[in-house]
Structure 1
């Protein structure tokens, strides 16, 4: 019997192995040899995992291609044979793909990594490129291409073509990778890399050589990173990489040194790395990710000798250990409600009557309330704490709800909390059980300076205003609330930073700034509150500027005694003023 020939997707004739059975006869025919069945089985597995199968030589010349019709060629994918793979890779990713080829030759196999391809119409699109080599086929690389790339699930967006992630993007991908590694049991590591003097060296090199160094380092770090998109430049000479556990710091240092040497560079400093096993289970996955992100951010922001060639490992280990301990303590504080709430009144300067209270937190063992809140913001636990504070204040209001003059209370919510995509739903679930008592809350927004999308924050705040919550912007004029925030957010109140209130009494420049802030806020329809009013002269100054509300030690120190403020002041107030020094 003659064996028929079939056309494969490359356009070449391939023998169909084994006799062909007669379907009409109701038989499958003789079984094919086991070797043929094994071959077909592996081909089936390959196509189940990828859209394209490509074989290239060591230079990237395509020897074989099979699979679905795609945008890389106008005709059948077999038309790719005889071309070079780099012709269909986006120019900015070609050096990176060369690194992936080197990784295949070194490691025998790489997991799929994100690569930007260039379609025959010039459009670029992402795909996953994986590959391996076989000892039985020397000189060949066997590649898989998955054309449908899963969307990013974390907060980090993809870097531009050929670029590393920035610090924010890397922090997002780091958290995503750690959570995924814990969930799937994957073995991954984090390496922080310090190339001391790199920025100065590159700036002194000819442009061509400088580009070789920059592009070479970027391509190499992307090439060793998980999925090809888990490397970031955290500063001029600082990098972070999430990678497979079989990569160690010495290997990374050696490759970076080779790239610099090949471009004719002479590094004035040295190269140092710190690698951490991300499987450390001292914290739950979410808090472990927070500790890692905090360490990376501190590494990126460190100045001078804080992280040097000799101290990188010690410094990073110390930071990581400290972050793990502090996050554990912070988590315990939240879980056990191990904090107290104190209240300080905002008063009408003319009458001394309580306008509303501000709820402030105190935590035993914390160096200061500000440090506690700042650390909670830095490690991403401020969201949990803010919602717990909201519930705690509402519980207090509920306890005293029968008081005829129950005061309104301002709660501080971080802009980071407000920007969370699930905040509104979670906040509503917290306040809903308290009914009308929720209307007693004012929302005081802190740290708006960290927000890059003021319009988005304003959208969240307007939804809160629509259901009756009043909004107050904290520390106007200071670093935490910029004039950009002031113009971009519609609010009801604005608190003038206390340093301007205190300074204006003696400093004409501070007085000029204070007048400007008062004028701007008044034009925007905001009611003003002066902070840190400690002396009569401060209160008089605010009154002369038309600011009617104030907060500070002149009127009362913060107190745990909510009952004191919940009294009917129309009957118990003496001389129209309150005074609580304890």
Structure 2
């Protein structure tokens, strides 16, 4: 979109400028995106888009019905035609969109995530739709752009015609597609129709033959949302794992089927662990580098046998189960704070919250309700936002975080510098604390570049009024360099190993750790005790 005007903020909760340079499809409900793609193809062909009902998505993820119509603007530029779309909402509100069609095929296809969402959604089950993987080996080898475009046009025209009646077409690779179509269209029949249509479309396609496989979307032991997550995770994992091995529709089908079933089983097991509290929390102290006193502790997850929960968390993050896990961790942390308060200690505990969880309206509401019900201790709970999952709309997440901050929860960005979007996070998110990723601290004694980067982060945070914490501090010399640079706090084995016993970090009589104690890297019980603020 190049121009947006009208009741944009009132209806969609976006300022017009927020939508400029974005795709219109991003603010359309997933189930209606194929219909928008089809309508835009009609406009490309020079036809006026007749009024049609579509559901828009506002910034909060809620859907709003609208009637939308459009036409191709007479700008004379065949390679980059402009279109005007007008959306009429209830109560007479209207939004106008002007954008460029471009000359690529991208708008003819839905992306993999939308395809999977459609394939496993409620409408798919109710409408009797099937997902078929389609391989046209040799399509990408055609060097003539005009011939390739003509063949692709013929394929799309067939798939969107009444002969196939596809609801959505996704591109999985150069020659590979996913087609969501009515159940009456069988995979073998689709293969026959595609092969004959493509071969007849252009001489260059005379030897192209289609291969098809139907994907089993029925996962009886999973909810629809979990089936969607399992299929998406499986397809993404397969795509990432593919290296030099030959990639064809059979290997895709077999791998996706196997991975989906395996993922479904692991998701079921993970949910069982969460629901039965089959994990525990350990706590690691975070120490003020100047006073050498404990500021607060971080809650870290461990499986029941004490082993790392890293693999389980990676699966939870990728499949969306992380929302349930984050809530379960917060509940355990709240119980620990209440228990410690009963002994006369008032610890501050940092609890990890996934960036993916914060993009879920249901999770945010559940977390809000949980913290509101424990208002007497909420200032003892620090929300530590992890960067393991990309936050797509930082503006919306920042508004959520500010709501928590207004209710006395401090907010921290975890593992700062580990992801590509670190400085974009710092630019958009108003937070209290930044934790510098341990990879920088590992090399800080001998790598000038890493030391310079840590110094730059410290200066930037200082200007913004944000406190800094260095992770993975394991040697006294590292702590000394960090103090000299101006880093506020440190975390690592130098100050204490993670432990279930939170009291030990806050019951010492000494005011500081002397040099001899700092040399003992593995003794968590040598950390002094005074609770401060993060």
Under TM normalisation by the shorter chain, which class is it? 0.7 to 0.9
Aligned partner of residue 457 in structure 1, secondary structure: helix
Aligned partner of residue 436 in structure 1, secondary structure: coil
Gap change, CA 1:419 and 1:284, over 3 Å in 2: closer
Q: Is the 8 A contact 1:295 1:319 kept in 2?
A: yes
Gap change, CA 1:459 and 1:297, over 3 Å in 2: same
> What is the CA–CA distance in structure 1 between the aligned matches of 2:39 and 2:298, rounded to whole Å?
64
Structure-1 residue corresponding to 2:479: 539
Q: Is the 8 A contact 2:382 2:410 kept in 1?
A: yes
Task: Report matched runs for 1:413-452 at 5 Å.
Answer: 413-447=353-387, 450-452=390-392
Give yes or no for the alignment of 1:214 onto 2:152. yes
Structure-1 residue corresponding to 2:134: 193
Task: Report matched runs for 1:8-407 at 5 Å.
Answer: 90-92=42-44, 163-175=108-120, 177=121, 179-182=122-125, 184=126, 186-196=127-137, 198-199=139-140, 201-202=141-142, 204-205=143-144, 207-223=145-161, 228-261=166-199, 262-266=201-205, 271-305=210-244, 308-309=247-248, 310-364=250-304, 368-407=308-347
* Offset at residue 282 of structure 1 (A): 2.8
Aligned partner of residue 456 in structure 2, secondary structure: helix
> What is the CA–CA distance in structure 1 between the aligned matches of 2:113 and 2:285, rounded to whole Å?
38
Q: Any idea what the Cα deviations from partners look like across 1:185-217, whole Å, max 9, x if unmatched? A: x53322233444543x25x12x32121233333
Aligned partner of residue 204 in structure 2, secondary structure: coil
Q: Is the 8 A contact 2:135 2:176 kept in 1?
A: yes
* Offset at residue 471 of structure 1 (A): 0.8
Q: TM-score, structure 2 length as denominator?
A: 0.72
* Offset at residue 434 of structure 1 (A): 1.9
> What is the CA–CA distance in structure 2 between the aligned matches of 1:124 and 1:161, rounded to whole Å?
19
Gap change, CA 1:312 and 1:575, over 3 Å in 2: same
Gap change, CA 1:403 and 1:123, over 3 Å in 2: same
> What is the CA–CA distance in structure 2 between the aligned matches of 1:443 and 1:87, rounded to whole Å?
44
Q: Is the 8 A contact 1:494 1:526 kept in 2?
A: yes
Question: Which stretch shifts more, 538-547 or 292-301?
Answer: 292-301
Structure-1 residue corresponding to 2:496: 556
Structure-2 residue corresponding to 1:150: none
Structure-2 residue corresponding to 1:515: 455
Larger RCO, structures 1/2 (Cα 8 Å, 6+ apart): 2
Q: Any idea what the Cα deviations from partners look like across 1:437-466, whole Å, max 9, x if unmatched? A: 121100010127612222122121111111
* Offset at residue 335 of structure 1 (A): 1.6
Structure 2 portions without partners, runs of 5+: 1-37, 50-66, 74-82, 88-103, 527-534
Question: Which stretch shifts more, 225-234 or 527-536?
Answer: 225-234
> What is the CA–CA distance in structure 1 between the aligned matches of 2:193 and 2:444, rounded to whole Å?
58
Gap change, CA 1:222 and 1:94, over 3 Å in 2: farther
Give yes or no for the alignment of 1:498 onto 2:438. yes
Q: Any idea what the Cα deviations from partners look like across 1:262-290, whole Å, max 9, x if unmatched? A: 23335999754432233341323332222
Q: Is the 8 A contact 1:187 1:279 kept in 2?
A: no
Give yes or no for the alignment of 1:463 onto 2:407. no
For these two proteins, the number of residue pairs brought into alignment is 439
Q: Any idea what the Cα deviations from partners look like across 1:393-425, whole Å, max 9, x if unmatched? A: 101111221233321001110111111123332
> What is the CA–CA distance in structure 2 between the aligned matches of 1:224 and 1:279, rounded to whole Å?
26
Across the aligned residues of Structure 1 and Structure 2, the Cα RMSD in angstroms comes to 3.7
Q: Is the 8 A contact 1:366 1:372 kept in 2?
A: no
Q: Any idea what the Cα deviations from partners look like across 1:490-538, whole Å, max 9, x if unmatched? A: 1110011111111121122222222222222222221100011111121
Q: Any idea what the Cα deviations from partners look like across 1:329-374, whole Å, max 9, x if unmatched? A: 1111122121111111111123332111111111258984232212
Q: Is the 8 A contact 1:359 1:393 kept in 2?
A: yes
Aligned partner of residue 241 in structure 1, secondary structure: strand
Gap change, CA 1:368 and 1:405, over 3 Å in 2: closer
